[in-house]
Amino acid sequence: MTTYSEQPFDQLSLGMRLALLQRRWRCCIDTGMAPLGLTQSRWAVLIHLDRLGEGVRQSALARALGIELPSLMRTLELLEQEGLVQRTRCSEDRRARSVTFTDAGREMLETVRARAAELERSLLAALSEEEQASFEDMLNRLAGHAHQVMATLDDVPASR
């Protein structure tokens, strides 16, 4: 029996190629972030915190990352020990904590952004500028359409 890893990439289904490309892309980014002392879980938290805005609750950050809150807690503890983020109790709900960058965290975020942009340029170097723009447009359209398809599937009762 032939496994996916034994088949030539171009003979795999489109879905499998997209999944493998995503894994390879993330592996490149992870490897590129390693010299900064950041694992994927750490740099992803920094990026999502920036995207969601400082002062976001830990629970919202966990949802955005697609992980459970207890999984996020350990990463936040490590980032806090490294002096990159700080957590404070929310005044409206004493059980909740909000997350903000420290000055060192903002500096690290800028370094992460610059490194991610450099790695992305390197990964996309196989495509011309026109192909890159076309690829980005196709990805956006496919993602939007996949969202619409999922909405219709949510309305379909499960078969037994």
What is the residue extent of each domain of the chain? Answer: 8-126, 128-160
pLDDT digits (tens, 9 = 90+) for 14-60: 999 999 999 999 999 999 999 999 999 999 999 999 999 989 999 99
The β-bridge relationship of strands 85-89 and 56-57 is unpaired
- The reported pLDDT for the residue numbered 28 is 94
Residue range 102-125: mean pLDDT, rounded: 96
- Its CATH class, for the domain covering 8-126, is mainly alpha
Closest CA to 113 of 15, 32, 18, 53: 32
- Please state the pTM of the whole predicted model: 0.78
Mean pLDDT estimate for the chain: 90
Whether 77 shows a pLDDT value over 60: the answer reads yes
User: In the numeric block, which tokens belong to residue 151?
Assistant: 């909405």
User: In the numeric block, which tokens belong to residue 112?
Assistant: 């992460």
Residue range 123-147: mean pLDDT, rounded: 95
